[in-house]
Amino acid sequence: MTKLENPVLMATIGGAQGIRGEVRVKAYTADPTALGDYGHLHSMDGRVFEVLELREMKNMVVVRFRGVNDRNAAEALNGLELYIERGNLSDEELEDDEFFYADLEGLEAFDDQGISYGTVTGVFDFGAGDLLELKGPGKRPVLIPFSEASVLEIDLEAGKLLIDPLAAGLIDNPDDLKGLSPGKPKKKK
């Protein structure tokens, strides 16, 4: 059993497919058929899964894992999330404006005045573009668009995002920033 230090979610297993132990899998990779290219997949309970066969089917892939040989074993995996170690993902293949979701989580969002809007706690795509979830101390989580207009700069080494709070929908007009100082939360009206 292996415990991952920096896990990255790669797929979620769905229902069984047929009687030979195959399962339907929702892959979170750019190319779903590349799921087997990342090496062994791991569950959070320490199990390791080796992809033996993989084929594309509509908006998912059908996978046969080593040791999963019948429908009952396949059905027992329904809902299981599969991860890899972050170090198995190559940064060299990314363009300058591309990032792994896992690298964005934990970054703190600031505006050009140094005012903090919280930390990125999740990255979501509900179909209309990527959204960053920001959560500050004592604040409810808010979603902002992950776009060039909202997120002006990303500094992974410093752990910071430079955002435009107006474009991100965090303020209604620039006058809302008056009276705020770096590190102090916005006062409720």
pLDDT in tens, 159-182: 999 999 999 988 887 776 665 555
Q: Which is it for strands 60-65 and 22-27: parallel, antiparallel or unpaired?
A: antiparallel
- d(CA 103, CA 139) in angstroms, rounded, equals 23
Alpha carbon separation from 55 to 22, 35, 58, 61, 70 (Å, rounded): 10, 10, 10, 6, 18
Q: Can you tell me whether residue 100 is helix, strand or coil?
A: coil
Structure tokens at 11: 């797929």
Query: Which pLDDT tens digit goes with each residue over 132-141?
Result: 999 988 889 9
Its pTM stands at 0.66
Mean pLDDT, the chain cut into blocks of 10 residues (189 residues total): 77 94 91 88 93 91 95 95 85 72 89 92 85 90 93 92 91 68 47
Res 176: pLDDT: 63
Structure tokens at 128: 């209309």
**Residue 99: other Cβ atoms inside 10 A:** 18
Res 18: pLDDT: 92
Contact 16/71 with Cβ under 8 angstroms?
A: yes
Res 187: pLDDT: 42
Q: Report which residue type is found at 164.
A: D
Res 93: pLDDT: 67
Res 179: pLDDT: 54
